[in-house]
Chain A
Amino acid sequence: MSGLKKGAAAWRTRLLSTGATLLGLLVLTFFIGRVMPIDPVLAIVGPDADVSTYQQVQAQLGLDRPLLVQFGHYIGELAQGNLGTSLLTGNAVSDDIARVFPATVELATLAIVVGTALGVPLGVFAASRRGRLGDHAVRVISLAGHSTPVFWFAMMGLLVFYAWLGWAGGSGRIALAFDGAIPRVTGLLLVDTLWSGNWDAFASSVQHIVLPACILGLHSMAYISRMTRSFMLAQLSQEYILAARVKGLSEAAVIWRHAFRNILVQLLTIVALAYGGLLEGAVLIETVFAWPGFGQYLTNSLLLGDMNSVMGCVLLVGIIFVTLNLISDALYQVFDPRMH
């Protein structure tokens, strides 16, 4: 009974702190947004509007009211599940986000799969050959991957695989011939094209996503491999590893069954954070590949001072990170016996 109470109290505390974090995020974003030297009214009326038009639109948007009143109104609407209307697209912010977020989820998920599938083995490989040629090679690759601007990779990728070789699909999520032809079910084009049974459209969406996902994945791979190497080195210097070797276990068993299992918890955290970062918006990749995703939407909204959209996006980003943290906390319970 006392265990259940303790569990409920822990969850209550966690939920309260999550709510406080999200509220703090909204407060900060709202007030920073309002002091930024960007005028959403000007974005709507254009630079040549006269003062009467300017003041009328400012009043229509409610931007002539005191900041606290504006914030109170926003929170009141939010409490009713209304994220407001995008000042600049005229759509409900929730509709806009529902349209752009799946595009980023699709891209980020494939990218994190690529990044993890390459980064983890490379990191383990480098750690197991510390100071040798293989280790140096992996370190150079990951350093180059991490320090080279992702948009440069994107440009080079487009040049080689799209413009020269014609293997990749170029900009956008799908060939224009299929634009508007795929019924939207999930918003994930790979899924929706499969669902519709249109194999040509599926092929086109695969062809369009592979290159940006691989480039994003390579960037994540660099980070994941460096962190994996570092975690593995810490484990490989432990006495239990020495004991395993003394027992006569094969090197593969020592590395994968003993050392690697013990870095899973840390690895999960960094993969989750990397995934969160990708979801938050791979804006440069989205720009180069004209990928109509969340990063571009958030950036454009920020640049135009569309604060309803910015607030909606920030709230979503906050929820993503909180959720990922909760998931990684839950997975700790699975992978770390000390948590049982």
Chain B
Amino acid sequence: MKSLAGFLLAGLVLSAVAFMLGSYQTDVYRKLLLWITLALGYNFLFGIAGQVAFSHFTFYGIGAYAMVILLFQVGLPLPLAIVAGIVVCVVLALVVAIPATRLEGFYLALATLAFAQLFIVVLNEGGSVTGGPGGLANYRLPDILGVRVTGPWYTVVIVFLLLGTLAVLWRLDRSWFGRACRAVRDDPQAAQAMGINIRTTRIVAYAVTSALAGVAGMVYAFVDNTVNPPIFGLENAFLLLFMVIVGGSGRPAGAIVGAILLYLLPFFLSPLIGHHHALVFGVVMVAVVLFQPKGLIGIWDGWMTRRRAA
């Protein structure tokens, strides 16, 4: 009950903010919410299930492209396009996961990197279906029951996406499944001795988080109203990884902090030091990995423990 009230309050506050912003701020705000959504999902995959996969952002792209193609090339109505888009993401996730989860650590990373690269190639070479290097543009969200959802109201849709994703991951994390994922990450052999099927656990964790990224991508498709290959490149896949690591991997609160910090950092730094902000970025990254492997949330935990001890 308490957590439900918390969710409702967060939904109200985050939605209210949407109605106070100008158009530039709205764009920044929407993308921030989307980054947080992605970071939460990736935190489950990387931080909790322990899978070093670089395909999370790719599924964001697959969701976005699937949405646009299904709606405007195939001509499906919106509800059907949403369902079909999720199916596409889950099927592709299984295609990657079933062979890739046999692999561990380094090799899973390589396989998913290759998949991410392959996706960009397919986008560029996809002809009229994907729009090639220029991507797809000049479309807009179909009316929902005769209503055109735009402006702050579409931002509210993104707030729902964020909270929905958070709720799904929250439930999973606090269940036998979340414990199984952590157990497989901590010690696969012991996990197996507890009756946990390692492969199934890995595949399900990968498919569920990939599908969540795909849904986020579907929502994103109508944020910029254009999808093109550079948006879904590896740079953003790595940014996502950095967000989770800097925030504190394995902790949803860490993913949120990391996403907010790393997404907003350039906005504050580039007016001051121009393009050198990438340098600050790198330094922050190295510093965190060296001195604070538990991420920024680890610093907070340290404070709390000390306060309780005092």
Asked if A pairs with B, the answer is no
Residues of B within 8 A of A (CB): none
